[in-house]
Amino acid sequence: MIDIRKLKELVRLMVENDLSELDLKDLEETVSIKRHAQGGDPVVSTRPIAPITADAPKSASSTPEDDGLLTIESPMVGTYYSAANPDSEPFIKVGDEVGPDTVVCLVEAMKVFNELKAECAGTVAKILVTNGQSVEFGQKLVLVRPT
């Protein structure tokens, strides 16, 4: 996970230089920061470089119909939001088709809203958390049936 001090410094540099978007990539993760034209809070998206794999370990809550589903997990501790704001439609619903660049939710951490992308292709099978719920690093958020 990116160091919050580095993230704050990047946002400060974006504001000082009037940049609207910044993408960084290293061996471990990718960070994308986008500022809205209206000057609102920046949206930060971080993701590990490792690919999402099938949900191999079985937990007590796993069911046979979960076999073969891809898992989208929280990359950080924060608050899960299913929509961009309270008046907006949710990013995804069960049955929706998603692609690697489809935004599935926001995870807010320290007043920074982080877009979480599917990073896989398929159909949303289950949404495991509710809007406004606190989430932990690595917590399963969404299950996707691959196409």
Half-sphere exposure of residue 9, counting CA atoms within 13 Å on the CB side? 5
Residues pairing with 19 in the sheet = none
Check residue 55 and give its pLDDT.
Answer: 45
| Claim: this prediction has a pTM higher than 0.75 | no
pLDDT digits (tens, 9 = 90+) for 37-57: 555 556 666 555 544 444 444
Asked if 124 contacts 47 with a C-beta cutoff of 8 angstroms, the reply is no
How does pLDDT run across 76-87, given as a tens digit for each residue? Answer: 999 999 999 889
Distance (Å, whole) CA 114 – CA 78: 10
φ, ψ (nearest 5 deg) of residue 11:
-65, -45
83-124 tens-digit pLDDT: 998 899 999 999 999 999 999 999 998 888 999 999 999 999
Domains along the chain with CATH numbers: 1-50 (no CATH), 52-147 (2.40.50.100)
Percent of the chain's residues with pLDDT above 90: 46
